[in-house]
Chains A and B, each alone.
Chain A
Amino acid sequence: MKTASAEIFRKYTTDEVFDRIKPCSSVSDMWRKVSAEYADTVAINDGGETHTFAELESDAALFRGLLPDGGRIGIIAPNSYGFVKAFIAAVTAGKTCLIMPAGLPAEAVYGLSMQLGLAAVVHTDETADRMSVLSKAAPNVKIISAADSGKEPVPASDVPGDVPAVIMFTGGTTGKSKGAVLSNRAFMRGTVNGCYGIKDVFGQKYLLVLPFSHVFGLIRNLMTSLYTGSTLFICRSNKDMFRDIAVFRPTIMVMVPALAEMALTLSKKFGRNMLGQDLRTIICGAAAVPPYLIREYASMGITLLPGYGLTESANLVSGNPESLKKPDSVGIMYPGMEYRIEDGELWLKGENMMDGYIGDDNSAAYTDGWFRTGDLVRIDDDGFLYITGRIKEIIVLPNGENISPAEVEASFSALNCVQDCELYEDKTENGSSVLVLEVLPRMTELGKLPEEERAGRLRAMIEEVNASLPAYKRYNRLCIRDTDFPRTPAMKILRHGKKQ
């Protein structure tokens, strides 16, 4: 077993910045400090409407007066100032917030409220219609508009670190969605860990495109932005992202690889950096990051930092501050992360880990108190982590050989002309097993070749990689896709045989 320490990150910034990164015991503990220290700084810019840290606290103080007794509050709202105000108010009053995806239907809002015994549900104008079932069927659950205020301000409470701060739903791409319970301590460890490995992390300008109902949006985007006295611009619609960027000029963005790829493609097409001249850092995760993106952004003066994390680990497990040197790695473990590797699988413990799934016996997720991630990994001599596959996706060939699709796919994704690929097992008509590789070409690269040569050259490059692999890992059938892969809402490939 190993425990990661913060010191390893010291060299990636100045001593002054590094020493400002300090742990907090609860969201209240953090919020009292930052709302005083950065009182006059703009905390949230919601589509042009700005709110300083002091204004956010005075709005949150009035909102606390509306909260009923009882521990759990649901929030269903699109990314907005209203969400931030309600969330900060509730968590710093010692409540546990169940973050519902903004698109959840009215029946599900009612169902979750009953199942988890919510005392209140907060909505905004955009989600008011989702209160229809709850308001009729459950008169005891208080329905609160995020725009409302109480009569008297109520200060933040002292909240012990073991009080649950949030219940977040896991993606559910490999099974049923579950609610992970994150304590104040875990939530803040995740928030503070988001500061490591970046040269300039305080006083930044973030532009938010990820939903608050995802830990990457809530913790790494909102919370780390607040913790560092930065300003968060809320982009209300991804369609307007580049217009918002031109106006707000962010210095840092948190993105999934598909969005980073899109921004790069459009920048090349239109011959200008669509992410704006002030952008220095992209935090990229939630799916495998192609090394091509790291190199291309580096040539534009932008550092793209890949990382790895889970909802269950309060977002972050590891981050890669040396992405140009080790572009295939998801980085080094963040402070407080305890880990071990059993039969190739990563097992985790530590301050940032969830208390468990709510309403689940949890026995399948843990062994001897260790959370089993289901991810297959290796660690190099410098302590850098590499994801080599998912246990559930392992292909077992008839001869007993095990193949991790992610590991094989990484060999092909290293080609500039390959945007994405998927390896899976198929059966022929006579029932024998074949490995199929489906490839989505990266047209910005392939398009540089004369049209008549593209197909042949692409195949030749892919076949060359195939021939370099151990025989049992080679595909038998290659399929070049004309259209994108079917994808999950988080833009991950919806893998063969998996239903959305």
Chain B
Amino acid sequence: MERQEIKAKLKEILSLTDADSGLLEGELDEGLRLREDCGFSSVGMLYTVIGIEEMFGIRFDSVGLGSFVTVGDVVDFIGEKTK
């Protein structure tokens, strides 16, 4: 899957969560930090994990979203899993 496509779909999922909506305008910034910049709560994290698994048909298995620092890290992970 193309990186742009992953980012567009990820943005759709993030828009359902409690992520700061101001950060989601325009193209998704890969440098955004999930906790510090997006302000995710534990519910937001849960939404994101389940949303990504459902949207991309992949599994996080034992990898938690907590192991990712930035949006770019998540895009890398999805890219690897959907290869």
Contacts and interface: CB of A to CB of B under 8 A. Distances in A.
Interface of A: 238-239, 241-242, 258, 262, 265-266, 269-270, 274, 440, 443-444, 447, 482-484, 486-487, 491
A444 B12 CA distance: 11
Given A447-B15, A487-B41, A482 B50 contact: no
A242 B47 CA distance: 11
A266 B43 contact: no
B60 A266 contact: no
Contacts, number: 54
Main secondary structure of the interface of B (DSSP, over half): helix
Interface in B46-76: 46-47, 49-51, 54-55, 60, 64
A444 B43 contact: no
Given A239-B60, A269-B51, A444 B44 contact: no
Given A443-B16, A443-B21, A483-B20, A266 B47 contact: yes
Nearest to B20: A482
A178 to B, nearest CB: 25
A158 B47 CA distance: 47
B50 A242 contact: yes
Task: Pick from A258, A440, A482 the residue with the most CB of B within 10 Å.
Answer: A482
A459 to B, nearest CB: 15
Contacts of A443: 15-16, 21
A239 B22 CA distance: 27
Given A241-B50, A483-B39, 16 more contacts: A242-B50, A262-B47, A266-B16, A266-B51, A266-B54, A270-B55, A274-B54, A440-B18, A443-B21, A447-B15, A482-B39, A483-B18, A483-B38, A484-B18, A484-B44, A491-B43
Interface secondary structure of A, over-half rule: helix
A309 to B, nearest CB: 22
Interface string B1-21: 000000000001101101111
B50 A258 contact: no
Nearest to A451: B25
A482 B51 contact: no
Nearest to B23: A482
B22 to A, nearest CB: 6
B43 A262 contact: yes
Contacts of A239: 46, 49-50, 60, 64
B62 to A, nearest CB: 10
B52 to A, nearest CB: 11
Contacts of B18: 440, 483-484
A487 B19 CA distance: 15
Contacts of A486: 41
A484 B43 contact: yes
Contact of B46 (A262, A269, A487): A262
B25 to A, nearest CB: 9
**Leading 5 A-B pairs by shortest Cβ distance:** A484-B18, A483-B39, A482-B20, A484-B41, A483-B18
Contacts of A491: 43
Contact of A265 (B21, B47, B64): B47
Interface in B25-48: 38-39, 41-44, 46-47
Nearest to A263: B50
Q: Which of A242, A266, A447 has the most CB of B within 10 A?
A: A266
Nearest to B64: A239
14 contacts: A239-B49, A239-B60, A241-B50, A258-B43, A262-B47, A262-B50, A266-B47, A266-B50, A266-B51, A266-B54, A269-B16, A444-B16, A482-B39, A483-B18
A482 B44 contact: no
Contacts of A238: 46
A439 B20 CA distance: 14
Contacts of A258: 43
A404 B47 CA distance: 32
Contacts of A440: 18
Given A239-B60, A444-B16, A487-B41, A482 B47 contact: no
A445 to B, nearest CB: 12
